[in-house]
């Protein structure tokens, strides 16, 4: 017998985050609701891993509380690939990446059903990306719209 457990919706993700945040000291800037909105497609295990990675980052920095920056860095590490700040990028390539990511940010702002921009970076990642632009989805959609497809 198989039991299928679907991925949680935004309310479910927020509840799961609250469970995994117990015993962790969160900074005033950490908004679990906002995190729930940025983690569409995450499973409960993914959300647990996200907060655990954020706690590790905070401990490495010698702080006693998790900041939103810790969560954002963990999200990038898990979802996009760890940032490779040591990678040497020419000024020309950095400029091209900046224009490219700015284009994504503008499209995310203009296209319907995409959501506001959360993070834009031109730091290369371990997955091979030269940079990334991450919107915050305002709702969980069952179906992809043209705007969502163009986002990818």
- 72 with 112, same domain? no
Q: Report pLDDT for 30.
A: 96
Q: Report pLDDT for 46.
A: 94
Measured between alpha carbons, how far is 108 from 130 in angstroms, rounded to an integer?
A: 18
Check residues 37 and 81 and name the one with the higher pLDDT.
37
Q: Report pLDDT for 133.
A: 85
Structure tokens of 132?
Answer: 């990334």
Q: Report pLDDT for 71.
A: 95
Which of 116, 33, 22 has its CA nearest to residue 68?
33
Domain boundary among 30, 53, 79: 79
* Enclosing domain of residue 73: 10-79
Band (126; pLDDT cuts 50, 70, 90): confident
Across the chain, mean pLDDT equals: 86
Q: Report pLDDT for 110.
A: 85
The verdict on residue 134 lying in a domain is yes
Neighbours of 104 (CB within 10 A): 18
| Over residues 113-137, mean pLDDT | 80
Global confidence as pTM: 0.72
43-101 tens-digit pLDDT? 999 999 999 999 999 999 999 999 999 999 898 888 777 777 777 888 999 999 999 99
Write down how long the chain is.
152
Catalytic residue among 69, 91, 101, 138: 101
For residue 19, pLDDT over 70 is answered with yes
- 15 with 55, same domain? yes
14 is catalytic: no
Q: Report pLDDT for 87.
A: 78
- 105 with 59, same domain? no
10, 140 Cβ separation under 8 angstroms: yes
Band (138; pLDDT cuts 50, 70, 90): low
Domain boundary among 79, 104, 121: 79
Query: Torsions phi, psi of 134, nearest 5?
Result: -120, 115
Q: 3-state SS of the chain?
A: CCCCCCCCCHHHHHHHHHHHHCCCCECCCCCHHHHHHHCCCCCHHHHHHHHHHHHHHHHHCCCCCECHHHHHHHHHHHHCCCECCCCCCCHHHHHHHHHHHHHHHHHHHHCCCCCCEEEEECCCECCCCCCEEEECCCCCCCCCCHHHHHHC
């Amino acid at each position: 017998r198989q039991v299928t457990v679907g991925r949680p919706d935004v309310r479910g993700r927020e509840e799961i985050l609250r469970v995994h945040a117990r015993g962790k000291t969160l900074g005033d800037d950490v908004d679990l609701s906002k995190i729930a909105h940025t983690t569409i497609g995450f499973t409960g295990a993914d959300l647990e891993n996200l907060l655990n990675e954020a706690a590790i980052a905070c401990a490495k920095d010698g702080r006693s509380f998790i900041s939103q920056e810790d969560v954002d860095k963990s999200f990038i590490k898990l979802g996009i690939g760890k940032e490779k700040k040591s990678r040497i990028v020419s000024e020309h390539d950095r400029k091209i990446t900046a224009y490219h990511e700015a284009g994504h940010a503008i499209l995310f702002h203009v296209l319907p059903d995409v959501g506001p921009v959360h993070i834009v970076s031109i730091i290369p990642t371990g997955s091979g990306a030269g940079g990334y632009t991450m919107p915050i989805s305002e709702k969980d959609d069952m179906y992809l719209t043209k705007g969502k497809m163009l986002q990818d």
